[in-house]
Amino acid sequence: MPPTQSPPVAIQAHGLRKSFRVRNEAVEAVSGLDLTVTAGQIFGFLGPNGAGKTTTLRILTTLLPADEGEAFVAGADVMRSPQQVRRRIGYVGQLGGADASATGLENLLLQARLYGLTAADAASRAKELIGLFDLGAFAGRVVRSYSGGQRRRLEVALGILHDPQVLFLDEPTTGLDPQNRANLWNHVRQLRDSGTTVFLTTHYLDEADQLSDRLAIIDRGHVIAEGTPARLKQRYSGDTIIITPADLPASLLSLEDDLAAVPFIRTARIEDGSIRLSVTDATRSMAAVFSMLAEKGIDVRAASLAQPSLDDVFLHETGRSLRDAGETAGGLATTQQAGEQVAA
């Protein structure tokens, strides 16, 4: 039999590091990060605010130099051949890049001419993208009049106008309502199906879970887990039991510690008035938990067995919820942004 060929790699990074000095304090945003992204897939980069997602993306898109390490995108060396990388990628940042005072059509035509298309080819490509992203009803209006979903679709269209091999999307659905998020997800899937590799940063658990073919979870500059969403959840989390008591005791930390000490329970946390348990054996764990709660005089109102989530994976690796990490990382995110502005 002929040897099996490995799928082509769109992004390869090894040992990436990036620090910022803000107020005489060194902040390491990316800490020896390794990544491999196969061509033709949606790769999710999941983590709380301040985890290092945007810094990594800016390094890979040549917008920020790494302190150490190497990276290759679409076959080009990010450090040594940034111009080649830029010709082969598309990038849609958190703040977008459309000219708000111009119409959507004018934005597309200008972008096309900047990439060297003739006037006729620019008009043809703009017409194609207007149809692909359902922009026809408002392409003639100035961008400042667009809704959030309309503007985001235009920005993605601008990002792929030159038919890039790799498209980078930085938190693309932040601020969108559920309908517009679902609409944009469909467009991203269509890009993947047409052969474009999509690198997507997000802090939304459901977005990473439903949209990614593979994903990496990043925390404090490190990749802490990587794989398909389904395999990650099964490998790291086992089963999840959610118990809703009639009343929770005042000492929640003590209850969490007592539950975590029960055999077959990996982690226990109190969340939104419920007890969420990650367990290795649901049947035995439930019996032990019900017995312990009864001894403490805690009545159970409801109990259910749920599928593990990516938040369970994050909790298993870090000891804290990804939702909680997002709240506590706000200061670090602000510091990193300030550092990036200084570096720029």
What pLDDT digit, counting tens, does each position of 105-119 carry? Answer: 999 999 999 999 999
Q: What is the pLDDT of residue 238?
A: 65
Spatial separation of the C-alpha atoms in residues 110 and 119, rounded to whole Å: 10
Instruction: Decide if 4 contacts 313 (C-beta within 8 A).
Output: no
Q: What is the pLDDT of residue 319?
A: 73
Could you name the CATH architecture of 239-307?
Answer: 2-Layer Sandwich (3.30)
Domain 9-232 has CATH 3.20.20.70: no
Are both 9-232 and 239-307 of the same fold?
no
The H or E element containing residue 43 is strand 42-46
Spatial separation of the C-alpha atoms in residues 9 and 1, rounded to whole Å: 24
Burial classification of residue 207, based on how many CB atoms lie within 10 Å of its CB (0-12 exposed, 13-18 middle, 19 or more buried): buried
Q: What is the CA radius of gyration of the chain?
A: 23
Q: What is the pLDDT of residue 325?
A: 65
Q: What is the pLDDT of residue 23?
A: 83
Spatial separation of the C-alpha atoms in residues 286 and 292, rounded to whole Å: 10
Instruction: Decide if 30 contacts 56 (C-beta within 8 A).
Output: yes
- For 172, phi then psi, to 5°, come to -70, -20
Q: What is the pLDDT of residue 53?
A: 95
Q: What is the pLDDT of residue 268?
A: 84
- pTM confidence score: 0.80
Alpha-helical (H) ranges within the chain are: 53-60, 82-88, 104-114, 119-132, 148-160, 178-193, 205-211, 229-237, 252-260, 282-295, 310-318, 322-328, 330-343
Q: Which residues of 27-37 are buried (b: 16+ CB within 10 A; e: fewer)?
A: bbbbbebebeb
Spatial separation of the C-alpha atoms in residues 201 and 171, rounded to whole Å: 5
Task: Quick: pLDDT tens for 294-305.
Answer: 888 888 888 888
Q: What is the pLDDT of residue 329?
A: 46
Question: Where are the domains positioned within the chain?
Answer: 9-232, 239-307
Task: Quick: pLDDT tens for 203-245.
Answer: 999 999 999 999 999 999 999 999 999 999 877 656 788 888 8
For tokens 């007890």, the residue is 275
Give the pLDDT means over successive 10-residue stretches in the chain (344 positions).
72 97 88 96 94 95 97 97 96 92 98 96 97 95 96 95 96 90 94 96 93 95 94 76 82 78 83 82 82 87 83 80 60 48 40
Q: What is the pLDDT of residue 236?
A: 65
DSSP 141: S
Task: Quick: pLDDT tens for 48-73.
Answer: 988 999 999 999 999 999 999 999 99
Q: What percent of the chain has pLDDT over 90?
A: 59
- For 146, phi then psi, to 5°, come to -75, 150
